[in-house]
Amino acid sequence: MSRPMPTIVRATVTPILISDPPLLNVLGVHQPYTPRSIVEIETDTGVVGIGETYGDSDYLAVARALAKTVVGRPLTSLNGLSDLAYESAGLTVEAGKEFDPAGLRGSRTNEKLIRSVVSAFEVASLDALGVTLGLPVHALLGGKVRDRVDYSGYLFYRWAEHPVDDAPTDTWGAALDPEGIVRQAQRFADDYGFTSFKLKGGVYEPEQEVAAIRALAEAFPGYPLRLDPNGGWSVDAGVRVAEELGGLLEYLEDPTTGIDGMAEVRARTGVMLATNMCVTTFGEIPEAFAKDAVQVVLSDHHYWGGLQATRELAALCRTHGVALSMHSNTHLGVSLAAMTHVASVIPDLEYACDSHRPWQTEDVITEPHTFKGGAIEVSDAPGLGVTLDRDAMAALHERWVRLGVRDRDDVAAMRKADPTWVQPPLPRWK
């Protein structure tokens, strides 16, 4: 006799603000606090699952609308979540197709917005389902093929402190030149055991960032290295860097914007190119793959629509001989747990995934993950294997209420240090 499906009796979305260091990128600098959303799904059997996603106002509005409409649905109705999200938010796929070339996450479309929100509801549902069945999330996705998932140390040019009062502080100090970047990498290697590094670029003239990569290669011989200016270079600058660094880089990430620009850098240099900007939705795949614009897709399970969608993406990539790895944005342990589960089930994951998590000093789970040997162990506990720390979440929510920061805005944050700062038009560096 089949058992009744658990039904969703409550869904809540809690916006939080998490502290963030002054990390620099092509647009500006991270704010002292950045928004995230925590989703909880409770079943009629009293099980609560959790998910996490972007927390900016447009995401939050869609998440709140979806939270109202999932109540009463079977926990396992995951394939209908996307249609429900469009309907409850009053959005359509066709509308909102705008390309924001300066956005660090590529196109901003309704589809991506919806998928990013759905991802947190899908993860929360899988967490609840796993707890109900006594199975880890990776088992619900077909089972892990590895026990540990490798992450790469994510290096940033940064200031020692935010240029505003009452901002969070940390002990990392400034990193504004090759020596500073090598020092940062050394601490990452010592504290977390990372054995590959990615440098966020687009901050200085490409030649200066080339010098930082050379310094890393010298300090960490044989370590895979990556450089990501978030589309901040012209095609010619991308070609120049690729030619100068070719042999030292595992891959070059989004040297320039757009499929055609990426395809040209690839055609002129043969260097491996990765992206979390020019291919961020399924619709962008056919043209990008046909033009050989991308050799590694950096999936972000949030904006691809969840863990099942990430597996679909992995299958598509495999079919076309394109590799898959993972992108990251500022996030906490719920997202890291979800990333680790899905990364554990993808057979051909050849590249260490990105994670901002080492930069975060706060979390909403009771036992934040620790990177050992640069990796996170895949949990076999039921569900995601993490427990929500309600007091911590309440404190971060209270901060969201009190400070009124609703969106991440790296340009506005930079203006606090330089009142003349405006969003740099891309390419920032020719």
- Give residues in contact with ligand GKR (CB under 6 A): 23, 25, 104-105, 200, 228, 230, 276, 327-330, 354
Under the criterion CB under 5 A, does residue 250 sit at the interface with Mg ion? no
Minimal distance, residue 203 CB to Mg ion, in Å: 13
Q: Could you say which of 200, 302, 331, 369 is catalytic?
A: 200
- Site pattern 275..304 for Mg ion (x: CB under 5 A): -x----------------------------
Cα separation, 189 vs 367, in Å, equals 22
Q: Which is nearer to ligand GKR, 23 or 129 (CB)?
A: 23
Span of 117-125, 130-138, 223-231, 311-319 interacting with Mg ion by CB under 5 A: 223-231
Span of 151-159, 166-174, 268-276, 282-290 interacting with Mg ion by CB under 5 A: 268-276
Q: Which is nearer to ligand GKR, 42 or 300 (CB)?
A: 300
Q: Which is nearer to Mg ion, 125 or 328 (CB)?
A: 328
Active-site residue 68, yes or no? no
Minimal distance, residue 276 CB to ligand GKR, in Å: 5
Under the criterion CB under 5 A, does residue 228 sit at the interface with Mg ion? yes
Q: Which is nearer to ligand GKR, 144 or 327 (CB)?
A: 327
Q: Which is nearer to Mg ion, 56 or 228 (CB)?
A: 228
Q: Could you say which of 30, 112, 327, 341 is catalytic?
A: 327
Active-site residue 331, yes or no? no
Interface residues with Mg ion (CB under 5 A) are 228, 253, 276
Active site (catalytic) residues: 200, 327
